[in-house]
Chains A and B, each alone.
Chain A
Amino acid sequence: MSIKIALAGNPNSGKTTLFNALTGSDQYVGNWPGVTVEKKDGILQGRKDVVIQDLPGIYSLSPYSLEEKVSRRFLVEENPDAIINIVDGTNIERNLYLSTQLAELGIPMVMAVNMMDVVRKNGDKIDFARIAKALNCEVVGISAVKNEGGRDAAMKAVELAEKGAARKSEVPHVFSGSVEHAIAHIEESIQGKVRKSAIRWYAIKIFERDREIISDLGIGVGDLKHIEEHIRDCERELDDDAESIITSQRYEFIKNLMDKSLTKSEKRRNKATLSDRIDKIVTNRILALPIFILSLCAMWWIAVAEGGPGTVLTDWANDGFLGDGWHLPFTTHEVDGRDYGTACEDYAKAEATIKAWEAGEKTASVEDEETGETAEEWQVDEAAYNAAKAVEEPDPSAYGVWVPGIGALIGGALEKMGVNDTVASLVNDGAWGGVSTVLGFVPVIFVVFLFLSFLEDCGYMARVAFIMDRLFRKFGLSGKSFIPMIVGKGCGVPAVMAARTIENKRDQRMTIILATFIPCGAKTVIIAMFAAVFFREMWYVAPLMDVIGIAIIVLGGIALKKSSAFAGDPAPFVMELPAYHMPTLSGIWHHTWNRVKAYMLKAGMIIFPACVFLWFIMNYDFHFNLVGADGIDRSMLATMGGWIAWFFAPLGFGTWQGAAASVSAEIAKEQATATLGLVAAGFDGATTASNITALFGTFSDYPKLAAMSFMLFNLFIPPCMVAIAVTFREMGSKAWGWFAVGFQLLVGYVLAMSVYQIGMFCAGGSFGVWTAVAILADIAAAWFVLRPARKEAR
């Protein structure tokens, strides 16, 4: 016989921390039937017969929000054996509001007053015994985050559950005389219709005219009239409506209780807390928005600015650690008056001289690695040729302690094993080439996720929603819609799901459609690569992508809100603002590391097989002949890419490579970088970066413009397949899913096209059909945004 214990409490009360501590990893996560509210239950550690049901965080058991409905249905219909009510000790008054309602259900209850560590630090005192007596339940103090007392509270609940119905039958009486009188009458009329222990809760709900309960119970018309009279009497006497009477009196009861049970420390009353002082600056009317944008810029600068820590680490990762190899810092020295870099350059020039002379040419040249342009050119003659032949390839280990990169090690091992060229290519170019490209960006990902975790953990994000609310409301959303967008900076999947907190269905749909326009972690990799390859000197290109994302959300929201499907009053923005708290180092570290770990796991589980597959269709034609790098244009990938390349022509990358990279990005956005690395390998440059530069040179006469267009396209079209699947699921209907995808595709396409076409026009002056199309599309988009709003049909 298993024991069922419900865990109920306000949002932000530490419920999840407690739940995790009690159940460990033995949890099951799913959905409450028929609704998109998360259902979580787990086994109490050490007691296989005890199931802990985590209820959604709720402020009340009213019939209005989905979370509340689901919770009360569980409590009332499934009748758990006990309740653990977790209460935030630093915010106890409002938390008790729910407690009084839970107590009326007639289910044995343990109140776990959480955050006692903070309460004690503040110097406050709470009289547990008095509260226990007033609410007829057990009260204990815990600190979930410090892992104190949680288990004891749970065991107490188990004890109560095992004692069973030996429950003190008195449920707390919270209301005034006339209200209690009415409640008593109501209880009479529903005798036998409901479980005896919960009869008071039902009666109170009926007094509040709770439509759901009234229809569920099927109370007779005559009885209803009788009850209604009693209610009206109270309303007249107290000059207020029934619902308000109940809520007010609950709070009055609580206030009286708190006056006697809570002693606040004197010193705290007068000091402005650190939280307040931070808040003064960060949500200041004038400074708030600039501070937000500045923090974004700071993050990006650290991540991708030339010479900044992010790029240094990424370059080391890409070319050194994962590639050919690197020198241990502080061990490098010169040989024959040259350092390793210069020695390599000299060798490259010697090779160029040899190549030129043997081809019968008069001049040789070397290219700049990054720009692909000719860096140096010189005459060759027989003397130069002979001198060049004598130049030896510099041995890196002579210049310092050389650590071979993983790529070199793999390549070397394969050679030693005698593996043939084709299979070696599969491993070196295909598998490792692709995966290493993606892994090379871990430093960038790390920085972004670190910032994100810090901002989330310290409570800044809730405040940002507050700041953004007014701005968001101008185009019909509420600040609540902003939170999914912050979540989206990490991954689009939880962002789309976070839209569940929005009660208004229309706003929720809109948020789902717009949430993925904020570049997610995977898209950040694309930004990182393009910033490194094409926009190194322009570090502001990276934060610009975030700004564009926000702009699309704002403008897209405005445009959508004007159509009748989305029009309507903005959703109310009633939101608790939790205090700032200094995030724990371990907390930030875990959140960051979890994400980075997932990213690396993704590289192995998704990027790796994708690259293997790509290698195949890149090296073989449809008859399964090996075509290799030289015959790549006859490969399956090139052919298939060619079938759809026309679609991307107006965007500046209408080639099979551009098509292949963009399509492959739907598996996972970062795959685009891996695919580009793979298809560009044929250029045989010194680094992946120079290869890709050369590749884009073949796309367009304005490679940087094509690169920008490519980046914009892949960033702002529908997200990866997994996120699209979640979009469909959260929308609940295929029609809406397709609308979302269609809208996103249109936005990405028009944006990339406009930038490329108009950019080309400005740069080269060529005005073609597509330039005109782009301009018309922009005008149409502007109209959608600026047209007068339609009145909502009532």
Chain B
Amino acid sequence: MPERLCTIQPKTNGTAVLTIPGGRNSSAKNLLEALKRQTAALSANRDVKGLIITGTGSGFCCCPAEGSASFQDAAALSGFGQQVLFSLEKIGTPCIAAIEGECSGLGLEVALACDFIVASRTASFGFPGIAAGLIPFCGGSQRLARLVGKSQAKEIIFSGDLMSAEEAYRIGLINHLYPEGEALSRAEELLAHICTRSPNAIRIGGEIVNAGYDIDLHTACMLERDAFALCFSSFDQREGMQAFLDKRPPLFKGE
């Protein structure tokens, strides 16, 4: 069953961990299909407050981009992969990628679609597919260039080399660099902390950041104004501000 490729473990604090196995043997299509099903299930489940995506053992879904038999197949796989990762990006709850080992190929594409990436010192990152004539196909080239700049992205994709976690931290590919073996536990702590904030503000903020990034400043600010005003019809806004004035922790409902 494809679900074995991609399993969800709910945590007692309302967050969930989505584990993608390491190894180079899984097929990109099967993995994307499993990811699509899990993303749809998570989107429909309002009880899940936050998500961590991680790998098993030392690997994080490092299956290489696969070559396809025909142009049609390659185009279809790329279109499908892009749709799946757009859905993941729009999941509406905070989503952190926690990387302990190699995160490459499709694995890096998935990590780039998360809100941000944290990793331990043993992690490595790259798109090794170039050696076989393959390039990222699920939005990875575009997300990588926007995140670390065009030159860094070109170096990563042209060389096919795996980059160390230290280097990834230096160029801003990952937000935090943790000691060996701590990526998942530290990501869980960080996610639990984020989940004390307003889910409504986080969801709207995520949408506006994504929508505003690729359009001009003026139009983006107009969008933001409307979204800001919308917050003032929410429970979370009244609760958050009243709690601040009362000097007590807020109890957000996400509405």
Q: Are A and B bound to each other?
A: no
B residues with CB within 8 A of A? none
